[in-house]
A and B are shown apart, each in its own frame.
Chain A
């Protein structure tokens, strides 16, 4: 009787273990409610993010050029275009090790003529993960009208990291 009970107990336990991958599939990926064209496992595990909040404070359309260094792939140049006086929240999955604003262009319209004007000042140093930002941060990147040390007009870009 005891032996039969033990065997049954073993069977139940082993069946439970064998059934685990199926039973826990939803628990492992509860976020994925749907997928089309492929099995759900084709999608990677979702991760946390860094939000780059691009802000164009000028009255003209503008672009900001930046470079990202992902942990797992090669560095990549990006350009984000913005309407006048708008913000654009762009999101990258955590894993960026460095972000560098490399330049920008403001498209000034005068008498129907569009003149691209290069941004005259960008932050000189890259933003490094673990120093200027961490996973989960919001990094605001502004383009706006400013002046240089001599008081001459120029377009400028600045960054500000928000953690709490």
Chain B
């Protein structure tokens, strides 16, 4: 029994040192298989990466429908563009915006204290979710090629029981080789063809002279 314990201890020790020396890759495999796809050749990109976009993504992690509203400054303008999603529980939605995107906010750029998400209950009553309270800026909070995630979550520490959070997926860290479709480069190519044929980005509609 003692000998078996010692063998287990030795195995654990060897594993620990091996993992430490191996730069966590072994641990990633055992603890997080999905991340191995990122370490190896992933099927498709997560972030725009080298494609000239920022993906603004809304995720509803609550158990109710959530209305998201966000603003950004489209490339080449000083105007404010706005977009929103009405997302049921557990779903997500995003939009690709063209670089450079100097700043963005969940809610209003001019007033970061304005809530950018509303919970919509089954009886259609609505409840504001406390705002993030800040604008995100390119070069500080995110870069071209990143994914900016605004999510609504259950949060028992707040009065209303919900809060908003954000996260940034670093597009430069995902590599450039993919086993399947290179989604955002495809989108870049297709959008380029549309622009050549006279179809403009939806963002240009906000850039009124």
Q: A162 near B186 (CB under 8 angstroms)?
A: yes
Please tell me if B78 contacts chain A, counting CB pairs below 8 Å: no
Q: B170 near A31 (CB under 8 angstroms)?
A: yes
Complex interface bits, A128-140 against B, C-beta within 8 A gives 1, otherwise 0: 0000001111101
The residues of B that contact A57 with a CB separation of less than 8 Å are 199
Q: A134 near B181 (CB under 8 angstroms)?
A: yes
| Whole-angstrom CA separation of A89 from B94 in the bound complex | 8
Specify the main secondary structure of chain A where it touches its partner. mixed
Q: A16 near B16 (CB under 8 angstroms)?
A: yes
Q: B204 near A86 (CB under 8 angstroms)?
A: yes
Please tell me if A37 contacts chain B, counting CB pairs below 8 Å: yes
Q: B165 near A55 (CB under 8 angstroms)?
A: no
The residues of B that contact A93 with a CB separation of less than 8 Å are 57, 92, 94
The residues of B that contact A163 with a CB separation of less than 8 Å are 181, 186
The residues of B that contact A46 with a CB separation of less than 8 Å are 46-47, 147, 149, 169
Given A135-B44, A136-B181, answer yes or no on A76-B91 (Cβ-Cβ < 8 Å). yes
A24 partner, pick from B27, B90, B191, B194, beta carbons under 8 A: B27
Please tell me if A42 contacts chain B, counting CB pairs below 8 Å: yes
The residues of A that contact B165 with a CB separation of less than 8 Å are 35-38, 42-43
Please tell me if B153 contacts chain A, counting CB pairs below 8 Å: yes
Q: A135 near B180 (CB under 8 angstroms)?
A: yes
Count residues on chain B whose CB falls below 8 Å from chain A CBs.
Answer: 75
Q: A87 near B166 (CB under 8 angstroms)?
A: no
Q: A48 near B17 (CB under 8 angstroms)?
A: no
| Whole-angstrom CA separation of A136 from B44 in the bound complex | 5
A164 partner, pick from B17, B43, B186, beta carbons under 8 A: B186
Please tell me if A14 contacts chain B, counting CB pairs below 8 Å: yes
From 31 to 56 in chain A, residues with beta carbon under 8 angstroms from any chain B beta carbon are: 31-38, 40, 42-51, 53, 55-56
Q: A13 near B15 (CB under 8 angstroms)?
A: yes
Given A27-B28, A91-B96, answer yes or no on A20-B191 (Cβ-Cβ < 8 Å). no
Could you tell me the distance in whole angstroms from the C-beta of B171 to the nearest C-beta in chain A? Answer: 9
Complex interface bits, B2-22 against A, C-beta within 8 A gives 1, otherwise 0: 000000011011111101100
| Whole-angstrom CA separation of A144 from B53 in the bound complex | 26
29 contacts between A and B (CB under 8 A): A11-B13, A12-B17, A14-B13, A16-B16, A23-B20, A23-B24, A28-B35, A31-B173, A33-B170, A34-B167, A36-B132, A37-B164, A42-B151, A47-B46, A48-B43, A48-B44, A48-B183, A49-B55, A51-B96, A51-B184, A53-B191, A53-B194, A55-B194, A73-B91, A82-B202, A86-B205, A90-B95, A137-B183, A138-B181
Interface residues of B, Cβ cutoff 8 Å to A:
9-10, 12-17, 19-20, 23-24, 27-28, 31-32, 34-35, 42-47, 53, 55, 57, 59, 61, 88-96, 132, 134, 141-142, 147, 149, 151, 153, 155, 163-170, 173-174, 178, 180-184, 186-187, 190-191, 194, 198-202, 204-205
The 10 closest A-B pairs by CB, nearest first: A13-B13, A136-B44, A17-B16, A136-B181, A16-B16, A48-B44, A91-B94, A31-B169, A24-B24, A89-B96
